[in-house]
Amino acid sequence: MTTGNDGEGDPLFTSIDPIFARKQLLKIGHIPEADRIVGRDEEIRKLASALNPAVFGHSPNNVLIYGKTGTGKSLCARHVTKRCREVASNQDVNVGLAFIDCSQQTTETQAIRKIGKILNDEDATSVSIPESGLSTAQYYDRFWKIADSLYDSVIIVLDEIDRIADDNILMQLSRAEEAEKIRDCGLGIIGISNKIDYKERMNERVKSSLQEREYIFAPYDASKLTNIMENRDDAFKDGVLEEGVISLCAALAAQEHGDARKAIDIFRHAGEIAFEEESSTVGERHVRAAQELAERDRFRELIAGIPAQAKAALLSLAQLSIHNKQHRFSTSEIFEEYERLSADVNLERLSERRVYDLLKEQAFLGVIEMNRTGGGRGQGSYMEHHLVEEPTIVRAVLQEDPRFNDLTYRDRTHFKLW
Ligand SMILES: Nc1ncnc2c1ncn2[C@@H]1O[C@H](COP(=O)(O)OP(=O)(O)OP(=O)(O)O)[C@@H](O)[C@H]1O
Ligand SMILES: [Mg+2]
């Protein structure tokens, strides 16, 4: 039976969403198909050439990939390693692939256990990888057995590698063949980081045994961001996007550094805002309103899972920045604010030293920046802190935590200006 409404299904149930046709294409965490990756041909080619020996069952070259957030590092690594497996498998070469997100597996033991779990086939190896009860060394031993018995070659991707506190895992993996821990299997590591100074923090012995190739992913320019979005504009229904929408998303996302995640995020939020307004098209005003939501998303992701005390320290710095003309504050200024704030929300008050440590951790994660002041004539130098993100956005996201959404102390008390 035909429904008479140009093939879209039963007329009673059509037009649920007048804006999006395939919104999933723009969702966070969606991994696009190969034909939607644009503008990274050169990087993909270099990565493929580093991994090429794996296709023949030999050891692939170790690789470190650096680049700012949203530059396609994880995406390209996923794409190339997947292709490498497929090409190898066509030639009866068995390449094992373990993609580890080190922001989830933050210790050496967790990471090596996960690698073992991903690559194991217990029926074939008779090796088990229990959740607990083994030492780190035992997890390594089991992984060597699994690699040797199941694979010609193994590629281990350590994404966000800077989040693993200890670089011993790199040492162990990169020396495995030389130390004859594995004999019948090639092993290659791809480390990915958006911390450009990651290598400087690395142990000298690890550096020398890794012998890696290094690739830098440059930020996208506005025209590449435009291509990336155009290649997913079928997320929207035909005719919904007004002229100039994509290029405005690209221009806004390229303002700081060309971040494709942010571009796609703005693009999706613009559609959602248009939907909520019951507009039939997405226009520039929706894009502008979407920008702040996208920035909040990014900040929310950056601070996901941090403890309440760290939030209180950040919120203190945000409050100071919002209520003063300047944006840089000393540890003791932040601590004074923190004392008032923690009293207001009934949070246990930590010492100034602990608050300083929390700020240092946030600097390590890139949420704030810390600088030592020059120290004027007769003055000692001291540490100054400032937020990388807009303070109002920081405050809005931190106040999504119910413990902090009702701050009253700033209204009640009179403050000196610094
Ligand atoms: N060249 C591209 N073509 C299509 N989509 C892209 C491209 N580069 C990035 N993206 C999309 O942008 C988002 C961010 O990319 P990706 O996760 O690879 O960034 P990243 O460099 O790993 O960032 P981070 O350092 O924050 O982990 C993803 O949704 C990805 O699909
Ligand atoms: Mg990534």
**What are the boundaries of each domain within the chain?**
11-20+220-302, 34-217, 308-412
Residue nearest to atom 29 of ligand 1 (CA): 261
Instruction: State the distance from the centre of ligand 2 to the C-alpha of 379, rounded, in angstroms.
Output: 43
pLDDT, residue 364, reads 84
Cα angle, residue 185 at apex, residues 31 and 163 outer, rounded to 5°: 45
Ligand 1 neighbourhood includes 75 CB (under 6 angstroms):
yes
Contact status, residue 264 vs residue 239, Cβ threshold 8 Å? no
Of 195, 193, 192, 190, the residue nearest 210 (C-alpha): 190
- Cβ–ligand 1 distance for 319 under 6 Å, the answer no
**Cα of 297 vs its chain's centroid, Å:** 12
pLDDT of residue 29: 84
Is the Cβ atom of 366 under 6 angstroms away from ligand 1?
no
CATH of domain 34-217: 3.40.50.300
194 lines ligand 1 (CB under 6 A): yes
Q: Report whether 26 contacts 68 (CB < 8 A).
A: no
pLDDT score, position 412: 52
Residues contacting 416, CB < 8 A, separation 6+: none
Q: So what's the pLDDT on residue 3?
A: 38
Distance 263 CA to ligand 1 centre (A): 10
* Tokens read off for 147: 């690699």
Nearest CA to ligand 1 atom 17: 74
| CATH code for the part of the protein at 11-20+220-302 | 1.10.8.60
- Cβ of 190 closer than 6 Å to ligand 1, yes or no, is no
Residue 206 near residue 167 (C-beta atoms within 8 A)? yes
Cα(162)–Cα(194) distance, rounded to whole angstroms?
A: 8
Consecutive 10-residue averages of pLDDT for the chain (418 residues): 45 74 92 93 97 94 95 97 96 97 94 98 96 96 97 97 90 93 95 89 88 94 97 96 97 92 97 95 97 93 91 97 93 97 96 97 91 76 93 96 89 49
Pocket test residue of 261, 265, 301 for ligand 1, highest count of atoms within 8 A of CB: 261
> Tokens 């950040």 correspond to what residue?
314
The three-state secondary structure class of 208 is: helix
Instruction: 82-88: list long-range contacts, CB under 8 Å, 24+ apart.
Output: 83/34, 83/48, 84/48, 84/51, 84/52, 84/54, 84/55, 84/60, 84/155, 87/55, 88/54, 88/55, 88/56, 88/57, 88/152, 88/153
- The encoded tokens of residue 384 equal 């100054």
**Please, are residues 391 and 318 in contact by the beta-carbon 8 Å criterion?**
yes
For 308-412, CATH gives 1.10.10.10
Q: Does ligand 1 have an atom closer than 6 angstroms to the CB of 260? A: yes
Among protein residues, the one whose CA lies closest to atom 5 of ligand 1? 37
Predicted confidence at residue 12, as pLDDT, reads: 62
Where do we find the tokens 């939020």? 269
